[in-house]
């Protein structure tokens, strides 16, 4: 509850995707299936990296960390969304709403920095292959991963704290399936342009800096790849980066449209669909993207699923 004593709102109503009961059941089933695929696929990648010693390299350690991040990223929103599909009240507590708000943006920020770190790893591996083992050690890799998580969870903490202290006198209806900044700021009965601008500035700065860093890293990678004399060598270099570029394109394509480009003319439904894409659908696609053209990962995942089948039959 807001400590100012002004707020009378004890809970919010997340409208989600309104519709008849049959539509709600269908949406529940589809999102549950996507969520299950997300958990299964990303857990399989984590287990593959953990159990296959050939994957104990920085590139796959970063991939396992990214899969772990994706699991928590979808879990901070999807279970509540699934409950609301089958609920008549569709409520979320005041504290629960801001907790979801904090974790959603903190995990999203962590994902931005983890994708940048993965781009840095590919830059070192392709542009400085001889020095790569001595630079990207396991210790440095772990340190950089921890730094990504630390920055991610500190980046929005102060603005979100001040937003949570704003008075909310009613109404308490959020036309979204999660607690996002725009609908929350619209419900506050005390305008706070400074806090709002600080939050938007931090968010845009993080997105722009990380995407520019990724683009800069891959421009150097492409320059190094085109200097490789053989087409086979070029293809091998491209194949190690292709999956990451697809994931970056899906994630940043959505959040750039949602949070950086002007979206005032877009309807609430469009905002919901875009948010659904990068917060629910993309994490389910990532395990397939990373394993689709990677022979080592395919072999390791096959080994994981064989072990799971043997465990179930034993």
Q: What is the pTM of this model?
A: 0.89
Report the chain's C-alpha Rg in angstroms. Answer: 21
Task: List the beta bridge partners of residue 91.
Answer: 13
Q: What is the pLDDT of residue 237?
A: 65
Q: CA 157, CA 105: separation in Å to the nearest integer?
A: 9
Encode pLDDT of 55-74 as tens digits. 889 999 999 999 999 999 99
* Tens of pLDDT, residues 128-155: 989 999 999 999 999 999 999 999 999 8
Task: Write out residues in the chain with pLDDT < 70, as ranges.
Answer: 1-7, 230, 232-234, 236-240, 260-266, 292-293, 307-314
pLDDT of residue 310: 62
Instruction: Tell me if the bond preceding 62 is cis, omega within 30° of 0.
Output: no
Length of the chain: 314
Instruction: Compute the Cα dihedral for 137, 292, 53, 130 and give only its sign.
Output: negative
* β partners of residue 14: 174
> Hey, which residues does 93 pair with through a beta bridge?
11
Query: In whole angstroms, what is the distance from residue 66 CA to residue 285 CA?
Result: 13
Q: Name all domains of the chain by residue range, CATH numbers in brackets.
A: 11-313 (1.20.1070.10)
Looking at the DSSP bridge assignments, the partners of residue 173 are 13
**List of E strands, the chain:** 11-14, 91-93, 173-174
């Amino acid at each position: 509850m807001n400590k100012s004593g002004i707020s009378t709102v004890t809970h919010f109503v997340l409208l989600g995707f309104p519709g008849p009961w049959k539509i709600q059941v269908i949406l529940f089933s589809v999102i549950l299936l996507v969520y299950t695929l997300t958990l299964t696929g990303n857990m399989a990648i984590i287990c593959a990296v953990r159990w296959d010693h050939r994957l104990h390299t920085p590139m796959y350690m970063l991939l396992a960390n990214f899969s772990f991040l994706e699991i928590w990223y979808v879990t901070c929103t999807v279970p509540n969304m699934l409950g609301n599909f089958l609920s008549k009240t569709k409520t979320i507590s005041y504290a629960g709403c801001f907790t979801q708000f904090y974790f959603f943006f903190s995990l999203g920020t962590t994902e931005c920095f983890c994708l940048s770190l993965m781009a840095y790893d590919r830059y070192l591996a392709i542009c400085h292959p001889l020095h790569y083992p001595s630079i990207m050690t396991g210790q440095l890799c772990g340190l950089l991963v921890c730094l990504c998580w630390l920055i991610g969870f500190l980046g929005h903490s102060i603005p979100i704290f001040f937003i949570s202290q704003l008075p909310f006198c009613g109404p308490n209806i959020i036309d979204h399936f999660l607690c996002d900044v725009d609908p929350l700021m619209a419900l506050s009965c005390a305008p706070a342009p400074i806090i709002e601008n600080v939050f938007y500035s931090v968010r845009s700065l993080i997105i722009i800096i990380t995407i520019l860093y990724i683009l800069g890293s891959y421009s150097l990678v492409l320059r190094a790849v085109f200097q490789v004399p053989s087409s086979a060598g070029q293809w091998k270099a491209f194949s190690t980066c292709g999956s990451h570029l697809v994931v970056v394109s899906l994630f940043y394509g959505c959040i750039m449209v949602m949070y950086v480009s002007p979206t005032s003319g877009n309807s609430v439904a469009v905002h919901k669909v875009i948010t659904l894409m990068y917060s629910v659908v993309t994490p389910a696609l990532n395990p397939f993207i990373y394993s689709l053209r990677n022979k080592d990962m395919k072999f390791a995942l096959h080994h994981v699923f064989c072990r799971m089948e043997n465990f179930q039959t034993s």
